[in-house]
């Protein structure tokens, strides 16, 4: 998002594989508990978000780490500034 008082969505990222059905995964896990891997469908249900400042980042650039509750996965995104509009 941009300015909080005038929000504008810049980009949305979806890392989920929609070809993997939840019901299929549940049936597989019920048949064989060792096969319980919700992460195979990608990232599900973002729960925790942590901003990492450039000064604290191992890459030297700002990062956004997102923990996903259902899939048990974590994604890290690099935050880049938008170019200033030409006047």
Q: What are phi and psi of 60, to 5 degrees?
A: 80, 5
Q: Are 64 and 52 within 8 A, CB to CB?
A: yes
Q: Are 79 and 19 within 8 A, CB to CB?
A: no
Please check the confidence at residue 8 and state whether its pLDDT lies above 70.
yes
Strands 46-52 and 63-68: antiparallel
Encode pLDDT of 20-71 as tens digits. 776 666 666 566 666 666 666 777 788 899 999 999 999 999 999 999 887 8
Within a 10 A sphere around the Cβ of 71, how many other Cβ atoms? Answer: 20
Q: Which pLDDT does position 37 carry in this prediction?
A: 64
Q: Which pLDDT does position 77 carry in this prediction?
A: 92
Q: Which pLDDT does position 56 carry in this prediction?
A: 97
Q: Are 20 and 40 within 8 A, CB to CB?
A: yes
Region 72-78 average pLDDT? 89
């Amino acid at each position: 998002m941009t300015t909080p008082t005038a929000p504008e969505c810049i980009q949305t990222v979806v890392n989920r594989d929609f070809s993997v059905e939840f019901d299929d995964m549940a049936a597989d896990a019920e048949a064989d508990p060792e096969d319980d891997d919700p992460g195979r469908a990608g990232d599900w249900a973002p729960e925790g978000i942590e901003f990492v400042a450039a000064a604290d980042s191992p890459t030297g650039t700002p990062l956004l780490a997102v923990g996903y509750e259902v899939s048990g996965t974590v994604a890290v995104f690099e935050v880049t500034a938008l170019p200033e509009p030409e006047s």
